[in-house]
């Protein structure tokens, strides 16, 4: 059979056209196949507790910022559970996108209440912090699991004018026992500076009941300080254990201010809560006993 030159030319053009169309299809599909969703880094909000200020988070803040995170460390008013939670709740509404909310000490009470009902809060992190259930207070938790040293014997009390014109009471940790109670694993000179810069807490927050806890609906992480003389290590273990599906670690040598004395371990736990696979540097942390029971 004889094939004409015209027929061959026609077939060649058709084959070339098919190749061009196929190549264009591959070029169009390739970017879509290789594209990956961009994960938005959460904003990390660090809430300090009583007898301290936001500077306690300095080491952790520096580490998080070096990894590209936006960090907000607000001043906790320390006037009362409901009012402090309302203040933080309002602040959280100004932050767009996902949030990892971290609380230390009394700051744990505040985040427990402020995060409830906020869909942007994706994780809670408690660092040697109170994690009360509905109706509980700092005083009732301390009576439930004794061991903490904060109380009438270790506090210095002052009067202050309340907003309604009455006289209320606030307190600080007596400076002579501050090192032992609050920061036993820090140098004495450092603890002395911290003792002189304490922010007083209104005594009403000790007995004010907490509301519906956010940790029942939001995933939580907990750092237990193994030598916490302020709250008491056993109380921290108790609170961590009852949080559903908690991820808990215990830093055996840490005092109440674990975020200052062990900023790497603290940062590592926050990064885990943020879903950051490239974790902080290795630290001397192990799973908390409560997390394994």
pLDDT, tens digit (0-9, with 9 covering 90-100), for 44-84: 999 999 999 999 999 999 999 999 999 999 999 999 999 99
pLDDT at 5 over 60: no
pLDDT of residue 16: 41
Distance in angstroms (rounded) separating the CA atoms of residues 98 and 92: 10
Helix boundaries (H) for the chain = 5-34, 58-66, 81-92, 107-114, 138-144, 175-182, 188-196, 204-207, 233-242, 258-261, 263-273, 289-292
Q: What per-residue confidence (pLDDT) applies to 38?
A: 55
- pLDDT of 222 strictly over 50: yes
User: Residue 279 — pLDDT band, cuts 50, 70, 90?
Assistant: low
Paired residues of 168 in beta bridges: 160
- The DSSP code for 183 is -
H or E segment and range at residue 218: none
Q: In the predicted model, is pLDDT for residue 34 greater than 90?
A: no
Q: What is the predicted pLDDT for the residue at 25?
A: 42
Query: Tell me, what's the pLDDT at 39?
Result: 78
CA distance 223 to 239: 11
Of the chain, the percentage scoring pLDDT greater than 70 comes to 81
Q: Could you confirm whether domain 43-292 is CATH 3.40.50.460?
A: no
Token pair 């969703």: residue: 37
How confident is the model over 31-53, as a mean pLDDT? 77
Residue 77 is predicted with a pLDDT of 98
* Rounded average pLDDT over 167-190: 98
Q: To the nearest whole number, what is the mean pLDDT of the chain?
A: 87
- How much is the average pLDDT of 227-238? 98
Question: Does residue 7 register a pLDDT over 60?
Answer: no
pLDDT over 90 percentage in the chain: 79
Q: What is the rounded average pLDDT of the residues 28-47?
A: 65
Confidence of residue 201 (pLDDT cuts 50, 70, 90): very high
Q: What CA–CA distances, in Å, run from 72 to 44, 76, 100, 238?
A: 6, 12, 10, 29
**Rounded to an integer, what distance in angstroms lies between the CA atom of residue 25 and that of residue 99?**
41
Confidence class for position 28, pLDDT limits 50, 70, 90: very low
Tokens of 87: 């203040």
Is the pLDDT confidence value at 283 over 80?
A: no
Q: Which residue has the tokens 């956010």?
A: 214
State the Cα–Cα distance between residues 127 and 96, nearest whole angstrom: 24
């Amino acid at each position: 059979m004889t094939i004409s030159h015209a027929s061959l030319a026609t077939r060649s053009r058709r084959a070339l056209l098919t190749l061009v169309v196929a190549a264009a299809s591959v070029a169009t599909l390739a970017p879509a196949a290789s594209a990956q969703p961009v994960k938005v880094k959460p904003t990390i909000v660090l809430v300090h507790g009583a007898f301290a200020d936001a500077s306690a988070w300095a080491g952790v803040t520096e580490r998080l910022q070096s990894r590209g995170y936006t960090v907000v460390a607000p001043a906790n008013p320390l006037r009362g559970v409901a009012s402090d939670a309302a203040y933080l709740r309002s602040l959280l509404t100004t932050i767009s996108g996902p949030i990892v909310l971290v609380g230390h000490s009394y700051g744990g009470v505040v985040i427990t209440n402020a995060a409830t009902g906020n869909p942007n809060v994706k994780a809670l992190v408690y660092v040697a912090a109170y994690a009360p259930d509905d109706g509980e207070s700092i005083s009732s938790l301390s009576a439930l699991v004794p061991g903490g040293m904060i109380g009438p014997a270790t506090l210095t009390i002052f009067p202050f004018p309340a907003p309604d014109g009455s006289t209320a009471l606030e307190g600080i940790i007596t400076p002579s026992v501050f090192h032992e109670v609050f920061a036993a694993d820090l140098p004495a000179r450092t603890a002395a500076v911290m003792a002189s810069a304490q922010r007083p807490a209104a005594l009403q927050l000790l007995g004010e009941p907490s509301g519906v806890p956010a940790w029942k609906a939001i995933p939580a992480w907990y750092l237990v300080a193994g030598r916490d003389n302020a709250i008491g290590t056993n109380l921290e273990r108790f609170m961590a254990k009852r949080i559903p599906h908690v991820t808990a670690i215990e830093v055996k040598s840490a005092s109440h201010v674990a975020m200052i004395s062990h900023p790497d371990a603290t940062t590592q736990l926050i990064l885990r809560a943020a879903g950051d696979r490239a974790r902080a540097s290795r630290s001397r942390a192990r799973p908390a006993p409560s997390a394994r029971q």
